[in-house]
Amino acid sequence: MEPNTMASFDDEHRHSSFSAKICRICRDEVKDGDNGQTFVACHVCAFPVCRPCYEYERSNGNKCCPQCNTPYKRHKGSPTIAGDDEEEEENNGPVDSDDELNIKNRKDTSSIHQNFAYGSENGDYNSKQQWRPNGRAFSSTGSVLGKEFEAERDGATDAEWKERVDKWKARQEKRGLLVKGEQTKDQDSQSDEEEYLDADARQPLWRKVPISSSKISPYRIVIVLRLVILVFFFRFRILTPAKDAYPLWLISVICEIWFALSWILDQFPKWFPINRETYLDRLSMRFERDGEKNKLAPVDVFVSTVDPLKEPPIITANTILSILAVDYPVSKVSCYVSDDGASMLLFDTLSETSEFARRWVPFCKKYNVEPRAPEFYFSEKIDYLKDKVQTTFVKDRRAMKREYEEFKVRINSLVAKAQKKPEEGWVMQDGTPWPGNNTRDHPGMIQVYLGKEGAYDIDGNELPRLVYVSREKRPGYDHHKKAGAMNAMVRVSAVLTNAPFMLNLDCDHYINNSRAIRESMCFLMDPQLGKKLCYVQFPQRFDGIDRNDRYANRNIVFFDINMRGLDGIQGPVYVGTGCVFNRPALYGYEPPVSEKRKKMTCDCWPSWLSCCCGGGSRRKPKSDTKKKSGIKSLLSGLRRKKKKDSASTMSYSRKRSTEAIFDLEDIEEGLEGYDEHDKSSLMSQKNFEKRFGMSPVFIASTLMEKGGLPEATNTSSLIKEAIHVISCGYEEKTDWGKEIGWIYGSVTEDILTGFKMHCRGWKSIYCMPKRPAFKGSAPINLSDRLHQVLRWALGSVEIFFSRHCPLWYAWGGKLKILERLAYINTIVYPFTSIPLLAYCTIPAVCLLTGKFIIPTINNFASIWFLALFLSIIATAILELRWSEVSITDLWRNEQFWVIGGVSAHLFAVFQGLLKVLFGVDTNFTVTSKGASDEADEFGDLYLFKWTTLLIPPTTLIILNMVGVVAGVSDAINNGYGSWGPLFGKLFFAFWVIVHLYPFLKGLMGRQNRTPTIVVLWSILLASIFSLVWVRIDPFLAKQTGPLLKQCGVDC
């Protein structure tokens, strides 16, 4: 090694002694060898690898150093494997740890190889990755190695060097940065077992499972062929117009072009579908080691409600119980319930739920039951004794079921009591009026039920924290519906618990898999990928849907095909529930940028010449001590000792909170220890206030990367500060709803929120565990389903006319092009309703007028029509093949695409235009989410509810049916020659009727309840129209020119 290179090597590691002790594969500490010296796996480049990773690489990997690709040599105590050089071992003796320090005599090849990248995106350790040359010069052995080089350069003897190293190790041990490596002989066997477990725990927590090439390659080939066929098809359609029906031809061509563009937007984001697998056992071994503190990250769970009379409290209670019983450390779970209706019914329901949780939670954890929502657990029609071996299970289950039934009766009594509000308003148990009697004008309210002193279950174990939150509401303020409620919960949770990750659920979505949070932690706590993730999205699964899924409530095609395709690009879109967020991503921060490799430079040339040649000067790494001390002083300066008033059991503010509990000037005091560069990175006081609002406690929480609260926190002050951050005027003149939190401006705030994160460069993950993570309820009634789809479509239209439209927002940013196509598809799909309505009307018009949109074609032109239909069928078949979605689900999705397109989507477009142009806002009622009657499980499916959304589909069905009757009557009247052109028209008419068939069944109700009046009127109208058609025949071609009559004279 050259002197200058050696000097720069030592200079770099002199300032990074701690980082040099970190394994570059598993990010764990590189422990010392048997002789007390730092373990060095590679003798050539000294790439830092711990002993377990070294052993795993030798036994299961490619047996080479990840950086320089030099074959690993066997160290003392390592098992012999095939390929070891036995001759070298016999001649030179076994490789001893002393040889690890003799790197100075070997050729340094580290400067011609790139840095090792482990688990870059898919989380797999690719041991066969080829390393390209001309990378950054990189070496990262331990600081002991750097001291050895320094001692030898100074000419020190072995004794002096040893004494020097011992002093350094003593200092490191005193600081807690180094663990003593000396072990007794009695501990050797235990050490080997621990190293084996450590090696398994350091494996990737998840892996990417790409779709087999035998399935995905034909799928991609057919997509390309279909695109080529579309080009030739439109060439024919445009160059051969139907001159006798030119308006119909022109409309049909425009519609077909729009359909083709919509297909492209929907198809190409599915180009890279992938699957993912998680390893929960490795997660436990890595972060839940015996005898050590649990290192799993805390999680705050958000549950949002609006009206408990429309969202049954028993459903909300089951969701909360499933959260409290989740398989996760209880001290790291906090549940926040947002009551946006300020209902005393929900307040009392949570009180009853917290009491029942003291019995339900230990029962779930003792017998490991699934799901942990009692309503759905006791209603499952399965063998509940399967895999149960405890003799007390049956007795405890019967007792628990009886207690749950008593719990339901108490909740039902609360609901019955809440049906009629007293004239003087609701009164609490202590006799004080309920602060939320006026739902539009009330103070902010916070109540902590569990998680405080004395909140234990019947076995004496701690329970997760349960917090009731109702934000302040005053007339004249825009509260932004669900998005505003979610932002309020973000701030409250940051003040009270400040967990680094947040899970949001709708009140009707319970946790079906108790290990769901652990599934998400396999991604979010990944040392490489986790820092770049904004959220982990789970698919939505539903209970209480009819077996045939008439109205595509399960939405299988979207969740099992489209979302998996997006997961292979930049990540799935946020769908509003069942999503675990990374808190910094919601604060508007950008993901951390990977460090760029330094350009190579030669130390033997002058620095100015190196700069001219493109080499950068080497900057010494800055110490984080100053920054950490500054944050510590900042947090300590924010805390003020105030007397605690704990007399009241409920904390709320009767008047609008305008004063912060902490002084904002303390922020500047905390920043005094920083230099100018650090101050600019932490922003000034005014920037903090403008961005996050007037709450120093909340601002301080945003600076804590790993979450948590400052030490010696005053609980009373935190409750008061939490009341302050949910005041209705807190968000004024801040970035909340614009750049921070859930984004305002649309009723579908989920799409906007996820879109903003992806534009900043964040990635998201789609997690599909074998057991569904969450399950919810969906409206199975036709009218309720259409109103739900109307709300989603209206939100997309609002985004289309906003500044956040993906068509023009953030071009040149960090959003990938295929991801942008997916977002464009989510906001333009409602506009497909206009060409779809026109295209469904054309067959009836053609049958009634005798015209057709396609002229007579020859055999060559018919090839393009046949090829187009075959490509559509082939695409569907191959898509079903790799996604494993059933053909029934695909067909139901196609049917409801037409039903929703000509009804809800059409109304959404016009209502969106009215809102944007004239400011006419549309209010929506919450769809019913209650369980149906047990005697008639799917009674709502057959319940007819009239709404204006039913008019367009009903009109289309009548028109096409009348057109079919008219076309057949005309063919019978005109003879055999008219049947040929009729088949093409009938095909399109039947295509419309078949797609609208589920809608027709929804109008008809049950087979044994078919309205007689509907049948009579249908027969009567069809008969009358047929007779009129045969008698009048109004669509015959009329003669042109003078009318010639016989004069009566025999000429």
Active site residues: 340, 750
H helices within 747-781, ranges in order? Answer: 749-759
3 state SS of 83: coil
- 868, HSE (Cβ side, Cα atoms, 13 Å): 15
Token pair listed for 705: 């990367």
CA distance 346 to 638: 34
Q: Bridge-partner residues for 338, per DSSP?
A: 304, 469
Q: Are 114 and 594 in contact (CB under 8 A)?
A: no
Q: Among residues 627, 626, 621, which one has the least CA distance to residue 15?
A: 621
Q: Are 215 and 275 in contact (CB under 8 A)?
A: no
- The residues, ordered by sequence, that sit 6+ positions from 487 with a Cβ below 8 Å of its Cβ are 480, 731, 736, 737, 740, 741, 742
Q: Are 29 and 22 in contact (CB under 8 A)?
A: yes
Q: In terms of C-beta density within 10 A (0-12 exposed, 13-18 middle, 19 or more buried), how is residue 770 classed? A: exposed
Q: Among residues 789, 798, 804, 786, which one has the least CA distance to residue 747?
A: 798
| Cα pseudo-dihedral 804, 805, 809, 810, rounded to 10 | 80
CB atoms within 10 A of CB 923: 4
Stated as kind and residue range, the H or E segment containing 581 is strand 579-582
One-letter amino acid for residue 872 of the chain: I
Q: Are 662 and 710 in contact (CB under 8 A)?
A: no
CA distance 1035 to 1029: 9
Distances (CA, A) of 163 to 40, 170, 466, 917: 21, 11, 57, 82
Please tell me what DSSP assigns to residue 205: S
Q: Among residues 723, 749, 744, which one has the least CA distance to residue 734?
A: 744
Q: Among residues 576, 337, 349, which one has the least CA distance to residue 464?
A: 337
Q: Bridge-partner residues for 29, per DSSP?
A: 22
Q: Bridge-partner residues for 335, per DSSP?
A: 301, 466
578: left (phi over 0), alpha (psi -120 to 50) or beta: left
Phi, psi at 1046, each rounded to 5°: -75, 130
CA distance 1043 to 100: 113
Q: In terms of C-beta density within 10 A (0-12 exposed, 13-18 middle, 19 or more buried), how is residue 917 classed? A: exposed
CA distance 68 to 47: 8
Residue 371: asked if its preceding bond is cis (omega within 30°), the reply is: yes
- The residues, ordered by sequence, that sit 6+ positions from 210 with a Cβ below 8 Å of its Cβ are 216, 274, 275
Stated as kind and residue range, the H or E segment containing 946 is none
Q: Are 552 and 779 in contact (CB under 8 A)?
A: no
Q: Among residues 272, 337, 335, which one has the least CA distance to residue 298?
A: 335
CA 408 to chain centre: 33
* No. of helices (H) and no. of strands (E), the chain: 36, 14
745: left (phi over 0), alpha (psi -120 to 50) or beta: left
Bridge-based pairing state of the strands 763-766 and 533-537: parallel
One-letter amino acid for residue 469 of the chain: V
Stated as kind and residue range, the H or E segment containing 11 is helix 3-14
